[in-house]
Chains A and B, each alone.
Chain A
């Protein structure tokens, strides 16, 4: 059996560091053009209205946590998962249910068990729960690779959605759960939009830091090796399944965290927020930004959210078709982006 050594050299080189990012960015006009547009768009939104910019910022931060965590699995390890939304939903529902208070007992429509936990107690439970489910699911999923893996992760997203929809005694089914508590520390409640943005960005920073630590460690290099050649990595004596399971669980826990934040931010969740389409958009963001780069995922999330929300400012659309027209423009822009940068905005690894 022949081992392709250039692949291994490649893997080592691909490990991310800020220095390499800078080297990459230097003289890269496309990247600067992108950053310029983004910068301009951010300024534009803030100038339009700070409250709106804050809510767009929160949407961005939540999507960025999801994108960075999904990139660990898709970009760094090479497992194309479209089931990420399942863990996102698990986190959201766990927080929503654990923080639900006595008000729910008086509702005319379906009541759910009430725990009344504070947000910061519920969030770790949500993360752990998403992790536990990921362990159970991951043990099975480890038997699959490549295109089959895509299909089983697809199945997971469908199952998760149907559980949210049909486990009505716990999730209230299609009614959704509303009046979800905002986080509070002592007497200080994160009910202002700016405070909440700060909280989400702090968590995003934490996720980026952890991800960075993972991909620059020897553990991360093994993941990259798995992506490039799973069998070769196995030949080197690595227990590939353990590595794949570990990153799968870590990624799921981060998605659970994003879910918990999302539930608390919107204060209302229903199964519609966790449909397969959201997973697809997430994969889009990861590919748009660039596989196997953390910066890329952040960039992808910014570009995507700015494109989608920026559509609201396109003037002169007929009032009757304003929604559809915006979606069409968004679709065309994404196609154009992919046409010119199939490897993503800053990525170098192609699926």
Chain B
């Protein structure tokens, strides 16, 4: 009888859950006095921000494994408790509550998505819990509160750098195309603001939804305005690569500028030779920084492939900064001490040398670089397909 098997399934399921919980609780209790530092991690492990969240989580696991293998912090290990905040405020709030309330965590590394960050930040600020993100770039986060920090540079900074690069390269009229997402939209807005401030003029602007696959109509419109250059801000590598490819197919030979997404490995594969000469203004790891190369090496050893190297480095540095502050405070429940330590600290790691945090918890001392995509023959796994031209001009 079907009913019978249904009941049996329920009983078995219940038993399995009960057993697992009992085992999990048992595990908690026999840790004794060598209890590890418990740190929360919130990343977009599923959903729209998955690529970023996964890379960020992997980098943090790598850093913690290194620290623990080297003997921990004064003999105490670090334990990361990972929760999925997706890219949504709702999931970020429940993940936050789970971490702070169930696990009793006072320090949270994350999130990888600005929307999730803005959802949980008011709670963290009210509870006095530190949130420390390596990836969230929305400019609004600067005002989110005293306990909110990030090593990710605000989109506002990227925009200023982009505007300056365009102007310095002699571009006077610009056409822009961007994906309708907070990141891409923010980059475009800030870039255009700086470009216009310097005296440039935007002659055409287009936007596209994330699921678009053909851009020829919009690109033709941009080209008919006859701009000196085209600026592209994408959130997905597919659209980023496709736009570059279709621009060249339409016969455009002028310069193309972008942010980091269109020079990602997937995007370059899609664009092929059309991407050669594409310039991107982005946060990238300095090839001369030994620490950065070392981190990329160990990441490649552990996970096989490197994507989003800067964000990987940022997440990695976050863990080491956390470890340093834990060494100073010696208590993972002391969020205030940890916050003061962050305000105080000056750090040299994978993403930069001698950077610190200002009174809004924004990172200072990092800068974006200009990279240029190499011809297809010269692209290797080591150079990620492009060469770094140098830092963005300030004036």
Contact = CB atoms under 8 A, between A and B. Distances in A.
Given A49-B101, A52-B94, A30 B7 contact: yes
Contact of B181 (A174, A314, A315): A174
B82 interface: yes
B46 A323 contact: yes
A173 B138 CA distance: 13
B29 to A, nearest CB: 14
A44 B209 contact: no
Contacts of A30: 3, 6-7, 10
Nearest to B45: A323
Interface string B85-100: 0011110011101101
Given A49-B97, A173-B182, A322-B45, 15 more contacts: A33-B11, A49-B101, A50-B101, A52-B101, A55-B94, A59-B90, A110-B189, A173-B185, A174-B181, A175-B185, A272-B115, A312-B83, A315-B23, A320-B61, A340-B9
Given A50-B101, A324-B45, A266 B181 contact: no
Nearest to A327: B46
B101 A272 contact: no
A193 B2 CA distance: 43
B98 A174 contact: no
Contacts of A313: 21, 24
Interface in A133-192: 162, 165-166, 168, 173-176, 178-179
B89 A165 contact: no
Nearest to A106: B143
B140 A175 contact: yes
B180 A166 contact: yes
Interface in B1-18: 2-3, 6-7, 9-11, 13-14
Contacts of B13: 37
Contacts of A168: 185
A59 B21 contact: no
B62 to A, nearest CB: 10
Interface in A34-56: 34, 36-37, 40, 44, 48-52, 54-56
Contact of B89 (A52, A175, A268): A268
Interface in A296-344: 309, 312-316, 319-320, 322-324, 326-327, 336, 340
A320 B58 contact: yes
Question: Most chain-A CB neighbours within 10 Å: which of B13, B53, B80?
Answer: B13
B51 to A, nearest CB: 12
Contacts of A176: 89, 115, 118, 182
A173 B179 CA distance: 11
Contact of B102 (A49, A265, A270, A323): A49
16 contacts: A49-B102, A51-B97, A54-B97, A55-B93, A56-B97, A108-B139, A109-B189, A174-B183, A174-B185, A176-B182, A266-B93, A312-B95, A315-B20, A319-B57, A319-B80, A323-B84
B119 A266 contact: yes
A51 B119 contact: no
Contacts of A34: 10
Nearest to A179: B122
A29 B7 contact: yes
B118 A109 contact: no
Q: Of residues B2, B48, B53, B186, which shows the largest number of chain A Cβ atoms within 10 Å of its Cβ?
A: B186
A269 B189 CA distance: 21
Given A48-B102, A324-B45, A37 B10 contact: yes
A204 to B, nearest CB: 17
B209 A162 contact: yes
B308 interface: no
B100 to A, nearest CB: 7
B43 A52 contact: no
Interface residues of A, number: 55
A165 B209 CA distance: 9
A267 interface: yes
Interface in B43-91: 43, 45-46, 48, 53-54, 57-58, 61, 80, 82-84, 87-90
Given A162-B209, A178-B140, A268-B115, A37 B14 contact: yes
Contact of B98 (A52, A175, A269): A52
A107 interface: yes
Interface of B: 2-3, 6-7, 9-11, 13-14, 20-21, 23-24, 27, 43, 45-46, 48, 53-54, 57-58, 61, 80, 82-84, 87-90, 93-95, 97-98, 100-102, 115, 118-119, 122, 138-140, 156, 180-186, 189, 207, 209
A33 B10 contact: yes
Nearest to B90: A266
Interface in A260-274: 262, 265-270, 272-273
Interface in A105-124: 107-110
A165 B115 CA distance: 14
Given A174-B181, A175-B140, A272 B61 contact: no
Nearest to A178: B118
Contacts of A165: 180, 209
Contacts of A175: 138, 140, 182, 185-186
A245 B313 CA distance: 56
B177 to A, nearest CB: 15
A308 to B, nearest CB: 9
Interface in A51-76: 51-52, 54-56, 59
B61 A319 contact: yes
B50 to A, nearest CB: 8
B139 A109 contact: yes
A204 B205 CA distance: 45
A267 B24 CA distance: 34
B182 A322 contact: no
Contact of B9 (A54, A326, A336): A336
Contacts of A270: 89, 115, 182
Contacts of B90: 59, 262, 266, 273
Most chain B CB atoms below 10 A, which of A56, A162, A174, A326 = A174
B46 A324 contact: yes
A56 to B, nearest CB: 6
- The 7 A-B pairs of least Cβ separation, nearest first, read A323-B45, A49-B101, A51-B101, A323-B84, A174-B182, A315-B24, A49-B102
Nearest to B6: A340
A173 B88 CA distance: 15
A51 to B, nearest CB: 4
A336 B16 CA distance: 15
Q: Which of B10, B100, B182 has the most CB of A within 10 A?
A: B182
A262 B93 CA distance: 12
Contacts of B189: 109-110
B3 A29 contact: yes
Nearest to B44: A323
